[in-house]
Amino acid sequence: MSKICAICGKKPVAGRSIVRRGKSKKQGGVGLKITGISPRRFLPNLKTVRAVVDGARKRIRVCVKCLKAGKVIKM
């Protein structure tokens, strides 16, 4: 199953994870240094739900934002 919301089409987004080292200037240090940047993915908060789709019961993956907004008719 793909990680895509069946209602709004929300899908994973690429980003970066940044690792910093040192003491901040605010705390009396020389400042934070970046020691590593690695790729990461921000995944949508998907739930598998039994819902009414075209008059039939179907199992679909829906993001929690759509569920809370009431865009899905659950069975």
- In this structure, what CATH number is given to the domain that contains residue 26? 2.20.150.30
Distances (CA, A) of 64 to 17, 46, 53, 68: 24, 6, 18, 6
Checking if the pLDDT of 1 tops 80, the result is no
Q: Is residue 75 domain-resident?
A: no
Q: Is residue 3 domain-resident?
A: no
pLDDT in tens, 13-71: 999 999 999 999 999 999 999 999 999 999 999 999 999 999 999 999 999 999 999 99
Instruction: Give yes or no for a contact between 7 and 65, defined as CB atoms under 8 angstroms apart.
Output: no
Q: Is residue 40 domain-resident?
A: yes
Residue 48's domain comprises: 13-69
Q: Is residue 55 domain-resident?
A: yes
pTM, 2 dp: 0.76
Distances (CA, A) of 10 to 30, 32, 55, 66: 41, 34, 24, 10
Q: How far apart are CA 15 and CA 53, in angstroms?
A: 33
Q: How far apart are CA 73 and CA 6, in angstroms?
A: 13
Domains in the chain, number: 1
Q: Is residue 33 domain-resident?
A: yes
Q: Is residue 4 domain-resident?
A: no
